[in-house]
Structure 1
Amino acid sequence: MTLPLRAIAVFDVVARCCSLTKAAAELYVTPSAVSQQIHALELHLGTTLFKKAGRGVALTEAGERYHELISADVQRIHEATQRIRGFRSRDTLTVRTTPTLGNKWLLPRLHRFLDANPDVELRLNATTEPTDFSREAVDVEIRHGEGQWPGMFVEGLALERFIPVCAPSYAQEGSLEANELVHHRLIHSVKAQLQWPQWMTECGLPATGDWSRLLFDRSHMAIDAAVDGLGVALESHLMMWRELGDGRLVCPVRNAPVFELTTQWIVCPFDHLRKAKVQQFLDWLRQERQLWQAQFT
């Protein structure tokens, strides 16, 4: 039976957009044409792939499973087609990174990598989801975690120092005792490895309390909230080196305890280390780490 390749490609776009209208705009066709392709694929598979969700659509359980199985292959076919058509005459390096590291640490430095490697086309994929290297076309990942991934090449990016920070307009540097923080709004990065209760315990304070809290699921949002004067955040100096360097953030606590952790790790299969573009990127990362350490540690 002939595979409905056009319908599969349309399905992948709709699954990503969760909208027939947005998918149609991306594909430069009408929503009706998109709907017809989805209907044809559902008939081919003998199952329903989408259900209505507000003004858009959502994947059914079967649709989610199908998309998981085909999405990486569709992406590989797309990239292979682009290469053959001549749109990718340069070598593409695909790097996956956490959103905060990508935004706060990698992006300000990328110009040096691009200048030193003009033949490499960089694709940066920012997500907290760990890469399945057996199915996804990712060359190397900078992953958040504890560094325990057996069978993979793993190298810590840097030893990070976690400190409480706020805008100087909110509280001046060294103007507070640790126990005074309970009277201020505490900004939480809910996925961070170091949380306020651990920091409070180290200071000899209760690990819980009637705190005024502001919670984010991304550290870069917590850092920006602190810069905007919304409260005191507990963050890594790896992620907020610019804000600390230019004075937009200060540590308001006198004699704050020092917490040092490695939370960001360079990860890839060992056979990826044979790729010249991966070695170029890793060499550059190590150079940038040395420059950062010399300036901010």
Structure 2
Amino acid sequence: MQIPLRSIGVFHAVARMGSVSRAADELCVTPSAVSQQIQALEVHLGTALIVKAGRSIALTEAGERYFEMIGGEVERIAEATLRIRGFRSVMSLNLRATPTLSSKWLLPRLSAFLDAHPDIEVRLDGTSGPTNFGTENVDLEIRHGDGRWPGLYVEGLAEERFLPVCAPALAPPESLEPAELGAFRLIHSVRSQVPWGRWFAQVGAEPAERWRRVLFDRSHMAVDAAAGGLGIALESTLMMTDELRAGLLACPVRAPPAIGLVTQWIVCPHDHLRHRKVQTFLAWLRTERDRWQAGEGGATL
């Protein structure tokens, strides 16, 4: 019996990308040509593989099972084809993360992943807005928020500790009581989930009636401003590991309260988890997270 290899390849592209039009763009054919190949494969198999779901498409139960069975084999065939032509197979991993996490935590570690996995090419999009996985070509996102996004796979990255920090020249480590912070300019991250008001309430201190402050809409700007001596910032240890380790920042408060919170979340559609490149990156990311928690993240900084 003749196997419809072309139709199988087209189905794999549609199922992988979740879209007929995006599959057509990747294959350099028209959407109608893609639909015809899918219909031919369905006739060959005697079952429906794809159904319309509003403006997008969804796999039927048979389609899900078929894609699961052929996915790894099609990827291996594609890799073998490229290798036999003399090219190294490269998979592109489209990753989105917040600008602060990208620059302060992810980028200093990313070379280790790239060196260990030369067959995976990473495209990092440092964007704060949440991904619309139905329309955007993003494999995996690290999203800032409360972790409540129904219908998606959601995993907390790490528990962060929030501490007041400043350049040691501005105030030496452990030199201040909480109530004394009002004498300094306070740096505010306007999107932070732990604002200064909450911190003062937790330590039972009243902020100054008219506190001096400067506001930033990105945490990496607040961290850099504090390291530059502009004032005292209230920030996450996840976002300032390097600055704390290098002595550019330190906590000026004696016995600061323990405020722990997960604010960064690994997010993607559940079906993305079966892609080898996503599995590989997640395994590496969890290892880096565990290493951070056992070291700087778990230490008193």
Residue of structure 2 equivalent to 1:225: 225
Query: Unmatched 5+ residue regions in structure 2?
Result: 1-18, 29-84
Cα RMSD of the aligned pairs, angstroms, is: 2.4
Residue of structure 2 equivalent to 1:118: 118
How far is 1:140 from its partner? 0.4
Residue of structure 2 equivalent to 1:136: 136
TM-score by length of 1: 0.71
Secondary structure in 2 matching 1:266:
strand
Matched, 1:101 2:101: yes
Deviation string, structure 1 residues 236-263 (Cα, Å, up to 9, x no partner): 0011011111111000011111100000
Secondary structure in 2 matching 1:148:
coil
Letter in 2 for 1:266: I
Q: Distance in 2 between matches of 1:144 and 1:241?
A: 18
**8 Å CA contact retained: 1:144, 1:264:** yes
**8 Å CA contact retained: 1:128, 1:144:** yes
How far is 1:285 from its partner? 0.3
Secondary structure in 1 matching 2:168:
coil
Secondary structure in 1 matching 2:239:
coil
How far is 1:205 from its partner? 1.9
Matched, 1:148 2:148: yes
How far is 1:89 from its partner? 5.5
Deviation string, structure 1 residues 73-113 (Cα, Å, up to 9, x no partner): 999888767xxxx9995210000000000000000000111
**1:1-297 equivalent positions in 2, closer than 5 A:** 90-206=90-206, 209-296=209-296, 297=298
**8 Å CA contact retained: 2:179, 2:206:** no
Change (3 A) 1:74 1:251: farther
Secondary structure in 2 matching 1:238:
helix
**8 Å CA contact retained: 2:182, 2:208:** no
TM-score by length of 2: 0.70
**8 Å CA contact retained: 1:197, 1:208:** no
Secondary structure in 2 matching 1:285:
helix
Secondary structure in 2 matching 1:255:
coil
Question: In the comparison of the two structures, how many residue pairs are matched?
Answer: 223
Letter in 2 for 1:183: A
Change (3 A) 1:182 1:106: same
Deviation string, structure 1 residues 89-138 (Cα, Å, up to 9, x no partner): 52100000000000000000001110111001100001110000000000
How far is 1:206 from its partner? 2.7
Structure 1 segments, 4+ long, off by >4 Å, are 72-81, 86-89
**8 Å CA contact retained: 2:128, 2:143:** yes
**8 Å CA contact retained: 1:143, 1:266:** yes
